[in-house]
Structure formats: C-alpha cells, structure tokens
Chains A and B, each alone.
Chain A
C-alpha cells in the first residue's frame, strides 16, 4: 500500500513568488494535515482538511492557504514568499477526524528554499 506522497521533494523560489506543494494521502484516508518544520522552530501546525473542507488552521498568515480535492489529495499554497518560509513542509493523513486513537501517517516532506 502506498504511503503519503508529497511533491515536489525540493523547491527553490525567490522572495515574493508563490509556491505550491502537493500531497496525496493514503488510500481511504479522508483527513489531510500540513505542518511546517522550520529550523529551530520545531513542527508547527498549519492546516487540517477533512472531506474537502478546512477544519482548523494554525497561527499562520492568510498567505498560507490550501485546499482538498474530491479525491482527498491536497495542495498547500504559499503566496508572497518570505525568507523565513524556508522549511520542510510535511503532509500527513489519517482515517477520519479524531486524533484520540488514530495516528498520523506522514510523508517525507517538501523542502522549500526561499532565496
């Protein structure tokens, strides 16, 4: 069974540009989560999508946005890139909404570098 897949693996952009990152969850998983792992800042929750809708978002500016498609894949968009957006962006999926007993399955991440 395929795991969570993310693309691209690496992405280099310049300040002010836009970046689009993609994620395909494990088959049967309806929830997709995005996390930012920046150097020295740990893992920060970005967004949670379930059944095509945004269910929760972390403390990030509106230029971080995304969507979930009918096939449950997801896209993260970062507009007006800033140097501090350089980070590893991790996508994870889970069965359903509750995190009480479930677990997140993570992809290997997309490394975004902003020059």
Chain B
C-alpha cells in the first residue's frame, strides 16, 4: 500500500533563511512523487515531480527535492525563503494507472519578516 507522511504540520522560518519540509513515503514499487503548493483560497499548483529520472528534482520558485530511496524520503528545500512562499505544501504519491493521488496531511509554512 502506498502512503505518505509529512513530518511537520507547521514550519516557521525567517525571510532569507533555508526552508526544509520533510516527507516520507511508503510504496510497494517505485513511486511517482510530487510536491504541490496551495496558497490561501487558491487551488493547488505543482511545484515539482519525481518520476524515476534524476534523484534531485528542481521545481519552480527555487524549490528542489531529493528522492532518497534508502530513506524513503522526498524532502522539499529552498535555500532562501521569501514572504511569498508562505502557503500550505503537500507531498503526494501516485498510484500508477489508478487515477489516484495520495496526499500527505500538508505542512503550513510561515515566513517571518
């Protein structure tokens, strides 16, 4: 069975400092993994995706994530936080051909000036 766990429900950083949002997954086969972002009162937007190519994936707005099979992790990072990064972030794993994405519970990122 596939599942995804976001280890922090809330992360607070200061503007200009690094961001780390943690995600662990379980899957019986090679997963496809995604990070989505949801700004207040908005739909979700894809940040980046891993689909068994390069293990270090670069996304939009300076975010990147590294797929570590040995640790079953797919943590999201950004070197320097910006105020506009404040949002909720979802780590997602997909069922192949099943039309079903499994969402983590979300991590709310706050950015302090």
Contact = CB atoms under 8 A, between A and B. Distances in A.
Nearest to A49: B99
Nearest to B45: A106
Contacts of B103: 35, 42-44
A106 B88 CA distance: 15
B113 interface: no
A59 to B, nearest CB: 11
A42 B96 contact: no
A48 B99 contact: yes
A99 B96 contact: yes
Interface stretch (B11-19, B36-44, B72-80): B36-44
A104 B101 CA distance: 9
B100 A101 contact: no
B51 A100 contact: yes
A103 B95 CA distance: 13
A103 B43 contact: no
A55 B99 contact: yes
Nearest to B102: A45
A72 interface: no
Interface string A36-67: 00000011110010100001101000000000
A35 B43 CA distance: 11
Contacts of A106: 36, 43-45
A98 B97 contact: yes
Contacts of B101: 33, 45, 99, 104
Which among B97, B99, B106 has the greatest number of chain A C-beta atoms within 10 A? B99
A99 B94 contact: yes
Contacts of B36: 106
Contact of A101 (B43, B45, B51, B99): B51
Given A42-B106, A101-B51, A103-B34, A33 B99 contact: yes
A42 B38 CA distance: 12
Interface of B: 32, 34, 36, 41-46, 49, 51, 90, 94-106
Interchain residue pairs A-B with the least CB separation, the first 4: A48-B99, A106-B43, A43-B103, A99-B94
